[in-house]
């Protein structure tokens, strides 16, 4: 134990039942008056404060174009807790946190804003760490990074300086590369935290524990035992108020390039040699780099590996909903996909010949995200002459949302004198096994960024590798001019072309 | 349309509660509440003189009344879930059987009103299982509030200079444990004065109501605010040092749920207990 008089490591932190807390930090939120800040960031800060995960000296500086006083920003904080954290009245925790909040108004491309920001950080006691959160449109990332660099605000001469960048990180390979290049002009890669809130989800993190802390699964986690993998991210909602963004993005950019590629990489990666940010991210990158081109001359099955579609009018959750092209703000001739299904193969010893099917869409019957690992059937069905039922494959399902957990399906004998088989499911649910509230993804990720742990953040090369895979699909679609956009009725599980893609392989999508 | 799904629950461990009948009832209620959100098997045993008393089983809870302490080990060994952690929650009984029972527990939580008798056996228990005292859990927020204050440079620089600790406590033994923690973590010499007095006011569910730590250059105070269920910590003369820390509701259910989240041997507790035993009330 260090001598407490030396002023070294805090001797009272040893053995505390709280998790590590960051060094004194100022969090600077660009886009402080925006939706993300109100819905996610401010409630996450409150929950972190309640759980004593914030450092002794912690302050928040909100930055945005809207004129607002410090007091009004604090009121916005209380309002957001009322709306999104269920805190009807400010309590002592929220009031104490609010006291440490300041607001700076200005245009993102105005150098004076950054001078002002520098002064406010000085007034806040020049904390050891400053975390800049870019909750702003991607078009402004560049100018903000540029000005932060020019104003010396990201220089690490007097403590760490980090920046969190929200998705979308580019719109194609070229723009992602340009953005990385621009950020790297002013920041080291170790200072850049590209956030993907899927990686903050407990079950997604648990994939690493499940695979690499259980000796029984890893030996069968390969082409010899696994028939195929299905990853589904289904939403019941339509485009809501995001039509202007969604029209330019579509399901492939919005969900697959980031979230689902991260999930796929966690499923497919080789074991890292240690649980460290660089080791984990290296192995994830390897997995991504091994994915064969999905379209083009080098792709297996040509363009048949991708299906895109739009929802037509239909019924979801008992409500009649309009088709995508009739949504407010959507071009009536739009070719933007609201559903996409992909078949991918990995060039690796572990996964050669094992298809990874990925689908995501809006206005599907159920809100659910899951990873389903379907194992091969036993090589010999010894019961086929006496059991009237076929043997179902073993299935491992990782539920990412809404009920985070893991289920395993296996065959059992139905009770009785007759030999009859039936599948049964063993279920593990986070919500009912450990009894602890699962932290919100933004709580986990904000804290990790303050602690400097980049394991759950995307590295520049992963982002670029993902775009390298996705961009040719967009190019192929652009060349097709919208002729291949299929249609599905809202409330159904996507178009028949997606079913046909699996049927051609003798498989079918899981019924969810 | 709302759909609900029923799933079989994954069990995560066994909790064995041993104590007199009047202390088993609140424990049973607490475990029932904890069981709503954590998959547990609960075994409630009140000591007596019967060799094979009937066991009442209700779902995941087994209640055995009047068991001879001689057979306590056999019953726990037979009833606990195999291959999953077992936590023994000791609410009273013969200390001799406690020491034997420790061998079957992955974690032993002491929870007796007058702890000196069991604290005497601490070193023996440390070697057999991961030991803790429920008072330690009640002190979690107090300890973390003070630890946060020690992150301030003005305090950490003065950490070796404290001369006086004053504690007002609703539970004097919790006060001793807290003082023992500081004495062991900060390597205090006997010259540091420790005064523990009974709290005069209402401290709510908190075991302490007030603490001050004094040195020549730094003065730290932490007060319980039962009306808002918070702790207020501050350092005199240091701007921005005030901290508000939420207290738990202090219920048995909350405390035991917290214990279930701890899986490792707690060295800080062990040192605090050994040091705290020497502190006079």
Task: Please check whether residue B151 touches A, CB under 8 A.
Answer: yes
- Digit-coded pLDDT (tens) for B180-229: 999 999 999 888 999 999 998 777 789 999 999 999 989 999 999 988 88
Residue A353 has pLDDT above 80, yes or no: yes
**Cβ contacts from A onto B, under 8 A:** 129
For residues B279 and B281, give the distance between their C-alpha atoms in angstroms, rounded to a whole number: 7
Taking every pair of Cα atoms in chain B, the longest distance, rounded to a whole number of angstroms, is 70
pLDDT (average), residues A315-326: 92
For residues A506 and B11, give the distance between their C-alpha atoms in angstroms, rounded to a whole number: 38
8 Å CB contact of B156 and A18: no
- Digit-coded pLDDT (tens) for A370-406: 999 999 998 888 887 777 667 889 999 999 988 888 9
- In this structure, are residues B99 and B247 in contact, taking their beta carbons and an 8 Å threshold? no
- Chain B interface, best mutation among A7, A15, A94, by max B CB count within 10 A: A15
Looking at residue B89, which CATH number applies to its domain?
A: 3.40.50
3-state class (DSSP) for residue A142:
helix
Nearest to B157 among A1, A7, A431 (CB): A7
Task: Please check whether residue A66 touches B, CB under 8 A.
Answer: no
Closest-CA distance, A300 to chain B, in angstroms, reads 40
Does residue B274 belong to any structural domain of this protein? Answer: no
- Which residues form the domain of B157? 138-246
Does residue B130 belong to any structural domain of this protein? Answer: no
- In this structure, are residues B256 and B31 in contact, taking their beta carbons and an 8 Å threshold? yes
Closest-CA distance, B70 to chain A, in angstroms, reads 33
pLDDT attached to residue B262: 83
A78, A197, A228, A259: the catalytic one is: A259
- Digit-coded pLDDT (tens) for B149-163: 888 888 888 888 999
Q: Are residues B27 and B96 in the same domain?
A: yes
- Digit-coded pLDDT (tens) for A462-512: 999 999 999 999 999 999 888 889 999 999 999 999 999 999 999 999 988
Does residue B183 belong to any structural domain of this protein? Answer: yes
Q: Are residues B233 and B146 in the same domain?
A: yes
N residues, chain B:
281
Selected residues 38-67 of chain B with any CB under 8 Å from a CB in chain A:
38-39
Task: Please check whether residue A13 touches B, CB under 8 A.
Answer: yes
8 Å CB contact of A93 and B146: no
Residue A94 has pLDDT above 60, yes or no: yes
Query: Residue A54: closest CA among chain B residues belongs to which residue?
Result: B148
- In this structure, are residues A253 and A470 in contact, taking their beta carbons and an 8 Å threshold? yes
Q: Are residues B142 and B234 in the same domain?
A: yes
- What are the contacts of B115-124 at 24+ separation with CB within 8 A? B115/B173, B116/B277, B118/B90, B119/B273, B119/B277, B120/B277, B121/B95, B122/B270, B122/B273, B122/B274, B122/B277, B123/B274, B124/B99
pLDDT attached to residue A313: 95
- Digit-coded pLDDT (tens) for B36-45: 888 899 999 9
Q: Are residues B227 and B142 in the same domain?
A: yes
- Digit-coded pLDDT (tens) for A268-278: 999 999 999 99
pLDDT attached to residue A329: 93
pLDDT attached to residue B8: 53
Q: Are residues B99 and B150 in the same domain?
A: no
Distances in whole angstroms, Cα of residue A161 to Cα of each of A37, A114, A127, A458, B206: 20, 15, 10, 18, 39
Q: Are residues B22 and B101 in the same domain?
A: yes
8 Å CB contact of B148 and A56: yes
Partners of residue A12 in chain B, C-beta under 8 Å: 143, 146-147, 150, 182, 185-186
- In this structure, are residues A38 and A83 in contact, taking their beta carbons and an 8 Å threshold? yes
8 Å CB contact of B150 and A96: no
- In this structure, are residues A88 and A75 in contact, taking their beta carbons and an 8 Å threshold? no
A259 catalytic residue (yes or no) = yes
- Digit-coded pLDDT (tens) for A45-81: 999 998 888 887 899 999 999 999 999 999 999 999 9
Q: pLDDT exceeding 70 applies to what percent of chain B?
A: 97
Residue A4 has pLDDT above 60, yes or no: no
Q: Are residues B96 and B149 in the same domain?
A: no
B237 backbone φψ class: left, alpha, beta (φ>0; ψ -120 to 50): left
Residue A303: which pLDDT band, with cuts at 50, 70 and 90? low
- What are the contacts of A314-318 at 24+ separation with CB within 8 A? A314/A363, A314/A489, A314/A490, A314/A491, A314/A492, A315/A490, A315/A491, A316/A236, A316/A363, A316/A365, A316/A490, A316/A491, A317/A236, A317/B1, A318/B1
Closest-CA distance, A10 to chain B, in angstroms, reads 6
- Digit-coded pLDDT (tens) for B226-264: 888 889 999 998 877 788 888 888 899 999 998 888 878
Does residue B146 belong to any structural domain of this protein? Answer: yes
Strongest mean pLDDT among A293-297, A309-313, A415-419, B55-59? A309-313
Residue A2: which pLDDT band, with cuts at 50, 70 and 90? very low
Q: Which of the residue ranges A5-14, A154-163, B117-126 would you say has the lowest mean pLDDT? A: A5-14
Closest-CA distance, A294 to chain B, in angstroms, reads 37
Does residue B257 belong to any structural domain of this protein? Answer: no
- Residue A473 backbone phi and psi in degrees, to 5: -65, -45
Partners of residue A100 in chain B, C-beta under 8 Å: 240
Closest-CA distance, B203 to chain A, in angstroms, reads 17
- Digit-coded pLDDT (tens) for A340-349: 999 999 999 9
Residue A18: which pLDDT band, with cuts at 50, 70 and 90? low
Q: Are residues B174 and B238 in the same domain?
A: yes
pLDDT attached to residue B261: 82
Q: Which of the residue ranges A72-81, A85-94, A347-356 would you say has the lowest mean pLDDT? A: A85-94
Nearest to B228 among A21, A92, A100 (CB): A92
- In this structure, are residues B244 and B222 in contact, taking their beta carbons and an 8 Å threshold? no
Distances in whole angstroms, Cα of residue A495 to Cα of each of A230, A252, A332, A489, A491: 17, 16, 20, 8, 11
Please give the model's pTM, rounded to 2 decimal places: 0.82
Q: Are residues B97 and B148 in the same domain?
A: no
Distant-in-sequence, close-in-space partners of B61: CB < 8 Å, separation ≥ 6: B28, B31, B32, B35, B41, B42, B43, B44
User: How many domains does one find in chain B?
Assistant: 2
Query: Residue A21: closest CA among chain B residues belongs to which residue?
Result: B148
Average pLDDT, chain A: 91
Residue A300: which pLDDT band, with cuts at 50, 70 and 90? confident
Task: Please check whether residue B146 touches A, CB under 8 A.
Answer: yes
Partners of residue A16 in chain B, C-beta under 8 Å: 140, 143-144, 147, 268
Nearest to A429 among B10, B34, B187 (CB): B10
Does residue B252 belong to any structural domain of this protein? Answer: no
Q: Are residues B23 and B89 in the same domain?
A: yes
pLDDT (average), residues B30-52: 91
Residue B50 has pLDDT above 80, yes or no: yes
Partners of residue B262 in chain A, C-beta under 8 Å: 17
Q: Are residues B158 and B235 in the same domain?
A: yes
Residue A147: which pLDDT band, with cuts at 50, 70 and 90? very high
- Digit-coded pLDDT (tens) for A237-252: 998 888 988 999 999 9
pLDDT attached to residue A17: 66
Q: Are residues B168 and B238 in the same domain?
A: yes
- Digit-coded pLDDT (tens) for A100-117: 999 999 999 999 999 999
pLDDT attached to residue B52: 85
Partners of residue B245 in chain A, C-beta under 8 Å: 52
pLDDT attached to residue A417: 81
What are A24's two structure tokens?
């004194």
Does residue B143 belong to any structural domain of this protein? Answer: yes
Interface predicted TM-score (ipTM):
0.81
């Amino acid at each position: 134990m260090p001598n407490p008089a030396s002023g070294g490591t805090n001797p009272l932190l040893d053995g505390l039942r709280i998790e590590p807390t960051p060094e004194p930090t100022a969090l600077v939120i660009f886009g402080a008056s925006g939706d993300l800040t109100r819905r996610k960031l401010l409630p996450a800060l409150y929950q972190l404060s309640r759980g004593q995960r914030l450092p002794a000296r912690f302050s928040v500086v909100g930055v945005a174009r809207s004129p607002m006083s410090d007091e009004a920003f604090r009121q916005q904080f209380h309002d957001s807790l009322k709306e999104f954290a269920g805190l009807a009245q400010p309590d002592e925790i929220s009031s104490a946190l609010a006291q440490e909040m300041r607001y700076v108004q200005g245009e993102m491309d105005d150098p004076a804003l950054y001078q002002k920001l520098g002064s406010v950080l000085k007034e806040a006691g020049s904390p050891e760490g400053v975390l800049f959160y870019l909750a702003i449109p991607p078009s402004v990332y560049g100018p903000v990074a540029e000005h932060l660099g020019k104003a010396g605000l990201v220089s690490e001469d007097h403590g760490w300086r980090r920046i969190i960048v929200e998705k979308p990180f580019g719109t194609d390979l070229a723009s992602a590369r340009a953005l990385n290049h621009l950020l790297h002009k002013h920041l080291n890669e170790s200072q850049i935290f590209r956030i993907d809130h899927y990686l903050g989800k407990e079950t997604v993190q648990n994939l690493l524990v499940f695979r690499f802390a259980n000796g029984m699964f890893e030996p069968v986690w390969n082409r010899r035992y696994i028939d195929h993998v299905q990853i589904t991210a289904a939403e019941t909602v339509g485009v809501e108020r995001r039509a202007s963004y969604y029209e330019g993005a579509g399901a492939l950019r919005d969900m697959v390039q980031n979230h689902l590629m991260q999930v796929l990489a966690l499923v497919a990666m080789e074991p890292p040699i240690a649980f460290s940010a660089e080791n984990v991210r290296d192995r994830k990158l390897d997995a991504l780099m091994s994915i064969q081109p999905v379209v083009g001359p080098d792709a297996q099955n040509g363009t048949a590996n991708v299906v895109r579609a739009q929802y037509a009018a239909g019924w979801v959750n008992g409500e009649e909903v309009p088709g995508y092209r009739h949504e407010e703000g959507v071009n009536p001739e739009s070719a933007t996909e609201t559903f996409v299904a992909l078949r991918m193969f990995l060039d690796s010893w572990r996964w050669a010949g094992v298809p990874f099917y990925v689908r995501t869409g809006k206005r599907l019957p159920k809100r659910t995200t899951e990873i389903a690992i379907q194992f091969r059937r036993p090589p010999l069905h010894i019961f086929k002459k006496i059991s009237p039922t076929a043997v179902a494959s073993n299935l491992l399902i990782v539920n990412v949302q809404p009920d985070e957990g893991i289920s395993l399906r296996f065959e059992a004998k139905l009770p009785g004198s007759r030999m009859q088989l039936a599948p049964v499911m063993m279920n593990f649910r986070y919500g009912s096994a450990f009894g602890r509230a699962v932290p919100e993804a933004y709580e986990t990720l904000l804290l990790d960024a303050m602690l400097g742990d980049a394991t759950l953040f995307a590295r520049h090369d992963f982002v670029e590798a993902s775009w390298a895979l996705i961009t040719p699909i967009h190019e192929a679609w652009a060349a097709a001019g919208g002729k291949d956009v299929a249609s599905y009725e809202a409330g159904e599980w996507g178009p028949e072309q997606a079913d046909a893609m699996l049927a051609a392989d003798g498989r079918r999508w899981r019924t969810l | 349309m709302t759909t609900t799904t029923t799933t079989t629950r994954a069990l995560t461990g066994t909790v064995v509660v041993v104590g007199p009948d009047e202390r088993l009832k609140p424990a049973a209620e607490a475990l029932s509440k904890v069981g709503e959100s954590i998959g547990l098997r609960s075994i409630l045993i009140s000591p007596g003189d019967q060799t094979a008393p009937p066991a009442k089983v209700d779902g995941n809870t087994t209640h055995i009344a009047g068991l001879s302490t001689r057979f306590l080990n056999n019953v726990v060994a037979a009833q606990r879930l195999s291959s999953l952690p077992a936590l023994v929650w000791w609410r009273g009984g013969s200390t001799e059987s406690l020491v034997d029972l420790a061998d079957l527990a992955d974690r032993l939580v002491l929870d007796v009103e007058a702890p000196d008798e069991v604290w005497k056996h601490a070193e023996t228990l440390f070697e057999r299982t991961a030991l803790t005292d429920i008072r330690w859990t009640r002190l979690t927020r107090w300890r973390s509030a003070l630890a946060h204050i020690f992150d301030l440079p003005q305090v950490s620089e003065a950490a070796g200079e404290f001369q006086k600790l004053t504690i007002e406590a609703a539970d004097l033994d919790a006060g001793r444990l807290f003082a023992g923690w500081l004495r062991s973590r900060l390597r205090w010499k006997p010259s540091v004065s420790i005064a523990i007095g009974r709290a005069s006011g209402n401290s709510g569910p908190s075991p302490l109501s007030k603490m001050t730590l004094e040195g020549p250059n730094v003065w730290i105070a932490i007060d319980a605010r039962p009306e808002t269920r918070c702790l207020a910590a501050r350092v005199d003369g240091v701007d921005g040092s005030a901290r508000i820390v939420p207290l738990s509701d202090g219920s048995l259910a909350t405390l035991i749920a917290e214990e279930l989240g701890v899986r490792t041997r707690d060295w800080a507790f062990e040192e605090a207990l050994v040091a705290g035993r020497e502190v006079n009330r």
